[in-house]
Every structure is written in structure tokens, then in C-alpha cells.
Amino acid sequence: GTWQNSGSKWVFHVDDVFPSGNVLTASAIVFNSKNEFLMTFNTERNQWELPGGHIDETETPEQGCIREVFEEGGVNIHHLTYFGFNKITNDSPVINKETNLAYPLPSYSVYYFCECNDEPMHPPIAIECEKAESFNLDSEKVTKFIQIIVNSALKLKNKAL
């Protein structure tokens, strides 16, 4: 696939082997007890997304994922299970707005599925996220890309039970 407005190309892989290379971002499919999953509304891209983001230099991908989900989605997560990644390539460099440096290519975005307590969500503290809500796969706000990733996570989650 290709991400909207960026020209970056991605290929999603369901794999229990962690990618070697530049792992830049981590995201989570956060399930509640009703098997709904969390999405956040990103005001910079004007779209609903899975919570996640850049991994800080001092963090593991799992630690970065936990932090990003709290910042963007307002929930504490547990029982993270790695299940796949996007390999991201591009025909020309993509510049990080914060550092003004080009992202290394290829790079990888890793995915976990996990659970959260059915506690009230705190408002997102990440400036790019306006709100966070739980959805099911039938929602019109769920893109084909997110459906693919959530379906993959659901199959593996159900297999583990």
C-alpha cells in the first residue's frame, strides 16, 4: 500500500520474527473486554489511526509503544504481544519535521496487540491527538489498512486463547 499524501510505500508482514534494521515506530491494537479496539483522531492528518508513534532513543519498541498509547489514547496497556511489521520504503527521502533529517530507508514500524483495563480513558496528552475512542471493525471510520492489521491481530489473539 501507500500512505496518504506521503508517497511512502509499505508492505505489512505478519511475522513472529522481529525485523532487523531501523525500527522507528511502534503501534498497538488495544482491545477491551468487548473486543473493540482503540483508535485516536490525529488532527495533523485529519484521520482516525491506531495509537503509536516514534520510539525514543532510550526506549525499546515495547516501551515506546506503551508510552505512545498512553499519550495518544489515554489508557495503560499490558500483555503486549508482537505480531508483525510494516516495511517502509520510498522513492525519495522523507524528512522528519522535528529533526529536519531524512528517515533511514528501509525502516520498520512494528505492531503489538494488547489489552487495557476497562477503566475510563484519560484525555489524550499528545498534541496531535484530539480524542480517542473504541471501535469495532464495522465502523465506517476504520480504513482498509487498519482492518487488515486488526484482523491479523484478532486471529492471533483468538489462537492464543
pLDDT of residue 44: 87
Predicted TM-score (pTM) above 0.85: yes
Between CA 33 and CA 45 the distance in angstroms is 29
Question: Can you tell me whether residue 155 is helix, strand or coil?
Answer: helix
Res 4 pLDDT > 60: no
Task: Report whether 108 contacts 87 (CB < 8 A).
Answer: yes
Q: Does pLDDT of 5 surpass 70?
A: no
Check residue 21 and give its pLDDT. Answer: 83
Cα separations (Å) of 45 from 5, 6, 130? Answer: 9, 11, 11
What the block records as the C-alpha cell of 84 is 508483525
Q: Are 72 and 50 in contact (CB under 8 A)?
A: no
Q: What is the mean pLDDT of residues 26-46?
A: 92
Say how far apart CA 102 and CA 86 lie, in whole Å. Answer: 18
The amino acid at 70 = F
Q: How far is Cα 89 from Cα 9, in angstroms, rounded to an integer?
A: 5
pLDDT at 2: 58
